Structure 1
Amino acid sequence: MKTQTKSNALEHLKRELEFRNYSFRTVNTYCSLMSHLAKVSSLPLETLTLSQFKDYLHKVVIEKGLSASTVNQYISAFKIVQTDVLGREWEDFKIRRPRRSKRLPIVLSIEEMERLINVNGNLKHKAIIMLAYSAGLRRNELLNLLPDHIDSKRMQVRVMQGKGKKDRYTLLSRKTLEVTPLLSK
């Protein structure tokens, strides 16, 4: 078993996540969660027991009303600290993950989308809204989109480094393409 100081364990966690090519946001989130855990518990990460970790999780779930996905992030970060930073067996620390609530997404109707598009007088903004909606782009995917990612001949949009650092292709709607010649290449 490796031993480190509190800050050293956090630094090793950061390096491990970066080495595994986790996204910048995930690295920051996991390090922030483990830093907060160490600060609140007043204990170095390597000395935390399973029951202390569970007590902490229970406390923050009850007091702050943390979502199941945030609790899962805590568990995932704690698992990496225990197994990859401290070299322990996960079976000794294994924690059941909370059930996620299953909610249906709010999807705008065609009429609502048409109203949203038509209310906007700016052609560029209209094209952006239409592209995001018709191609199913996430906010960051839209922000990182470049003109050469739009292939009007093949009616495709290339999404580079989307969620999970994954590249993908999505459809380019003919109606979106007709709105503006800016998308044509």
Structure 2
Amino acid sequence: MTLLRQRMLNDMQIRILADNTQKSYLIQIRSFARHFRRPPELLGPEEIRAWLVYLREERRLAPASLGATIGALRFLYRVTLKRDWSDEDFPLPRKPFRLPVVLSLEEITTFFESVASLKHRTILMTAYAAGLRVSEVVHLKVTDIDSKRMVIRVNQGKNRKDRYVMLSPRLLEILRLYWQDAHPKEWLFPGSIPGRPITRHAVGDACELARRRSGITKPVTPHSLRHAFATHLLEAGTDVRRIQLLMGHRSLSTTSRYYRPKVFMCSVESSPR
């Protein structure tokens, strides 16, 4: 490991960046340096612009992927190398606004009926019924399920924040059925490696297999189950700020994308005829 790489890693650890973010940033910087065959400390704004053009035009990366690259570059040069560069030196492409594709209640039922494995069905139903990110659901521990208070504790979710989410009676019933079958010890959903939880990729594969078996043509991912959770709560009349807390969103604007279609429909229905 080079001295600069170690310094950057230490800077990220001091700021308690998520492990996945640390790995991603180091990979991004390594690719950047290899492309120009020079150490990152010898590269500047001109190389950054050329790199972003290459990723966009040649590699055809989406704006979201470019955002991760820019985040890594900003951290390296502003934090680790302490370069006094402005945002203009790290041009961030605008992301196109797209509403999330949401499954209906009928599609949700059909989807879960198509999950053959009890373990996988329980994982995916927990992601939906509690509105969890896939990284959050795979890291649940047995002790995080509080049946007395009817809540699930999410430890160190996104942005390193703990939160509680609701535990519905139906989900508790499913979790108990799964526990009686699997008897997990530490991790609620253990993986194939002893002492480790199931991986996000394994959950994603199980989700895609169920989608194909269900015949649903919409894209279905663990994250789209989270979208469905928020939308179905909104349609049931839940306050959007409560949904924000349950989802663990830092900003209300992130949650607001779920109610834009509803607001639009209400405005159309109330307009003069």
TM-score of the two chains, using structure 1 as the length reference = 0.84
Q: Does 1:101 align with 2:92?
A: no
> Which residue is equivalent to 1:33?
28
Alignment deviations for residues 111-131 of structure 1 (CA, whole Å, 9 cap, x no partner): 111122334465554443322
CA contact (8 A) 1:127 1:180 kept: yes
Match of 1:44 among 39, 58, 69: 39
User: Within 1, Cα distance between the matches of 2:120 and 2:68?
Assistant: 35
Measured in 1, the distance between the counterparts of 2:89 and 2:69 equals 13
Q: Residue 113 of structure 1 aligns with which residue? A: 108
Change (3 A) 1:109 1:38: same
Shift of 1:38: 0.7
Residue type of the alignment partner of 2:94: R
TM-score, length-normalised on structure 2?
0.59
Among all aligned residue pairs of Structure 1 and Structure 2, give the percentage whose two residues are the same amino acid.
33
Instruction: Check whether the contact 2:118–2:178 (CA below 8 A) recurs between aligned residues.
Output: no
> Which residue pairs with 2:148 in the alignment?
153
1:19 aligns with 2:10: no
Deviation, 1:50, is 0.6
What CA distance in whole angstroms lies between the structure 1 residues aligned with 2:122 and 2:78?
Answer: 48
What's 2:57 paired with?
A: 62
Tell me if structure 1 keeps the 8 A contact 2:5–2:26: yes
After the TM superposition, which residues 130-141 of structure 1 pair with which residues of structure 2 at under 5 Å, given as runs? 130-141=125-136
Aligned residues: 179
Distance 1:70 1:37 in 2: 14
Displacement of 1:157: 1.0
Inter-partner Cα distance in structure 2 for 1:30 and 1:180: 36
Deviations 1:100-148 (A, max 9, x none): 1222222221111112233446555444332221111122211111222
- Which ranges in structure 2 are unaligned for 5 or more consecutive residues? 180-273
Alignment RMSD (CA, Å):
2.4
**CA 1:54–1:154: 2 relative to 1, 3 Å:** same
Match of 2:75? Answer: 80
Q: Which runs of 5 or more residues in structure 1 are unaligned?
A: 1-5
- Does residue 164 of the first structure (1) align with residue 159 of the second (2)? yes
Match of 2:227 in 1: none
Letter in 2 for 1:162: G
